């Protein structure tokens, strides 16, 4: 069973394994807040707690979660409490990533489903989620969670970002 949990030092070994796999893959770590990790892990966790209350410059307040299967961290989710101009176009309320060896198992779909419950608990009526146009898997995850595609955004370098609204309803 996959559970969305707050990061903790008790899972430091599992977290370092998660990070190492991402780094060895050569891919950018998603969500990007996870790549801000610094050691000792307790310092990173303290910074994350502070950023839930006070946004760093050019950021918004946010909460980071791990997707945990009871043995290892299979992914991470970042929930942004508000949106700034940049997040309105690229990023949205929720960013998520699944470690390379755990993909194609439904973890992203379940992780996003649980993240939507967090957004609902915070009183949001809907969330904005984005993905690169070439990220077919992420588009499917968003659609599977009720995403309704809205106008795309074109980046300065010509890349297209798909944008979705997910109504949260009751």
Q: Which residues pair with 21 in a beta bridge?
A: none
- pLDDT tens for 129-150 read 999 999 999 999 999 999 999 9
User: Domain range holding 58?
Assistant: 3-124
Assess whether pLDDT exceeds 80 at residue 48. yes
Mean pLDDT across 21-44 = 79
Residue 158 counted as domain residue: no
- Distances in whole angstroms, Cα of residue 75 to Cα of each of 16, 55, 58, 106, 128: 12, 23, 25, 11, 20
Q: What is the pLDDT of residues 100-139, one digit of tens each?
A: 999 999 999 999 999 999 999 999 999 999 999 999 999 9
* Within a domain: 166: no
pTM value is 0.91
List phi, psi (to 5°) of 33: -60, -30
Tell me whether residue 147 is in a domain: no
Please check whether residue 146 is in contact with residue 166, taking contact to mean a CB–CB distance below 8 angstroms: yes
Task: With respect to residue 157, please indicate whether it lies within any of the assigned structural domains.
Answer: no
Joined together, the tokens standing for residue 20 give 């190492």
Q: What is the CATH number of the domain that holds 21?
A: 3.40.630.30
Q: Judge whether 104 lies within some domain.
A: yes
Helices 12-25 & 41-51 angle (0-180, nearest 10): 90
pLDDT for res 39? 65
Q: Judging by beta carbons within 10 Å of its beta carbon (0-12, 13-18, 19+), is residue 151 exposed, middle or buried?
A: exposed
Report the domain count for the chain.
1
User: Is 132 in a helix, a strand, or coil?
Assistant: strand
Among 87, 94, 93, residue whose Cα is nearest residue 153: 87
Residue carrying structure tokens 């760093």: 56
End-to-end CA distance of the chain: 24
């Amino acid at each position: 069973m996959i559970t969305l949990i707050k990061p903790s030092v008790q899972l430091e070994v599992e977290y370092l394994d998660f990070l190492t796999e991402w780094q060895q893959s050569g891919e950018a770590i998603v969500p990007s807040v996870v790549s801000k990790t610094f050691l000792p892990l307790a310092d990173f966790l303290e910074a994350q707690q502070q950023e839930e209350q006070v946004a760093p410059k050019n950021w918004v307040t946010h909460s980071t979660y791990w997707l945990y299967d009871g043995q290892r961290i299979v992914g991470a989710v970042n929930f942004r409490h508000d949106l700034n101009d940049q997040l309105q176009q690229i990023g949205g309320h929720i960013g998520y990533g699944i470690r390379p060896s755990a993909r194609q198992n439904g973890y992203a779909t379940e992780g996003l489903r649980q993240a939507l419950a967090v957004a609902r608990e915070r009183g949001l009526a809907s969330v904005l989620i984005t993905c690169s146009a070439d990220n077919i898997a992420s588009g499917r995850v968003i659609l599977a969670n009720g995403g309704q595609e809205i106008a795309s955004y074109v980046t300065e370098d010509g890349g297209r970002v798909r944008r979705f609204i997910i109504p949260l309803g009751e």
